[in-house]
Amino acid sequence: MSNTSNEILFKKFEIIECFKKDEHTGVYLANHIYLSKKIILKVLNTKTIPDPVIIDRFKREAKLLAKLNHPNIINVLDFGTDKDFFYISFEYFQGTSLRAIMKKNKLRHDQKIFMLMQILKGIDCAHRNGIIHRDIKPENIFINEKNELKIGDFGLAFDTSDNFITSQHSVVGTPCYMSPEQISGEKITEQSDLFSIGIVVFELLTGRNPFLGSDINETINNIISFEEKSLKQEISGMPADVSALLQMLLKKKPAQRIISAREALSVLHIEVDDNSNAYITRNKLIMAGILILIASTIVTMMVLTKKEQNIIENKSIYTTQKIDTVDSQENRNSIKFDSLNKPAENSQAVAAEPSYEAKNIPNQKTGLQQEPIKFGSLYVECFPWADVIIDSEMKETTPLSEDIKLSEGKHMLTLYNPVYPAYNKEISVIADELLSIRINMDTLFGYVNFNVFPWGEIYLDNKFIGQTPFLQPYKLSPGEYRTIIKNPSFQTKETRIIVLRNDTLTVTYNFEGK
């Protein structure tokens, strides 16, 4: 397969544009010849793929999405095989991510509530079909110019009726949008998705993620130890139904959390007609407001000039399907934990680029083009390896297959390897420029020499680390430690030491000295 436009793949997909391609995968904008419509085509080369688990995940994603047909979910059109290739075709949705929209901070409250309704509707459909998403976050939610919303990227989802490779007890997802039980490796249920939705809605309404910390460990601790009362104070000024819903979504214990997306919709006075798949509001005032809005829109459109209409019709195009690259790890867009503080292997590889193409966005009121989002690039070289996390979102694992595309401005970079201290640094990305960072993870440690005569048992923060003499300096994360040196023939020595990054501290103690 090549990048040539108008190439025909699998005898039915006419390639319009190649979004991403390497030796294992390809993602394309294509014309489905038989359906006569644009689609997103994802292709996997099973012959070159290094890990068969990735093939199983690819097929599983297609199987799960094929079960769902809902206006608020990115739908699968078809999938199949051709010689050594698997492929999935998705609907082409012209929208941008909720993350990009939230950064602009120009949404009215009613628009935000309308988005919340659509998120709940889409998840309600998934849950009623036994599918739990497990990675609800703004980057996986897409919205077009009409404020129509679709949930995408079911790569981490699982079917509650099946036993998949990644079990419902595995800890995968994006840390700052995980539920407490997800972080702790406990059983995941529909209510876990609802907690994640609560975080997204809280951020949508207040402008901040309540659990986002300076690094992954702080984020995890924030989720596990948060106080519901403090969140309640922040949302107390919101409309009563929204405030009540957020409190029910963000309950720490699943048993106390709202039980379903459908019940969440009822809190907002919305009921579901199962036969028509319609969501009907019981609040007549809301319905009246909608009718007035529709009427005013019609009147406005009637008085638009031909020139204004032409401007409005000149819409920008966004691509919303995630662009995947593949290596021996299972997932680079999420982090998988085998304990509260130690990441295990990742569960799916995804691209380091945003999942949409940033172009000029027409202003809905004036029809004039706004300034496009500008991007620069980041290259990270790390020894021996590290997960590259930008603004608490997993992007890639070194060695990078290509530069990471980032919006212009400041970002928080974290490099994470479970056997090393985390590297945290605020970086500034300049449009059309490449920022290169090279790190040896060994330099993130501090080192301590313990010279104890005649010998001693060493405890750091009440943890036994060994008996002197040590063959080499002891590696520690930078920080302050309570140090205890014990020898049963002498009085115990207690002191405090401060370990600095890439520095060696020598602690000398003679039990027989004065």
Residue type, 506: T
Would you state the structure tokens that stand for residue 159, as one six-digit string? 């079917």
Query: Taking the chain, what is the end-to-end CA distance rounded to the nearest angstrom?
Result: 78
- CA-wise closest residue to 198 among 228, 171, 220: 228
> What 3-state class would DSSP assign to 452?
strand
Phi, psi of 389 (to 5 degrees): -120, 125
- CA-wise closest residue to 177 among 249, 233, 268: 249
The full DSSP string for 140-174 is: GEEE-TT--EEE---TT-EETTS--SS-TTSB-S-
The residues near 118 (Cβ < 8 Å, ≥ 6 apart) are 72, 148, 149
Alpha-carbon 324 to chain mean position: 14
User: 139 an active-site residue?
Assistant: no
- CA-wise closest residue to 171 among 345, 415, 327, 55: 345
Neighbours of 395 (CB within 10 A): 23
- Residue 70 near residue 51 (C-beta atoms within 8 A): no
Strands (DSSP E) contained in 202-289 are 270-273, 278-281
H helices of 382-477, where?
A: none
The residues near 110 (Cβ < 8 Å, ≥ 6 apart) are 289
From the list 14, 23, 139, 145, the catalytic residue is 145
Residue 372 CB-density burial (10 A; 0-12 exposed, 13-18 middle, 19+ buried): exposed
Residue type, 234: E
The overall longest dimension of the chain from CA atoms, in Å, is 96
Helix axes 240-249, 228-235, angle to 10 degrees: 160
- Catalytically active residues are 145
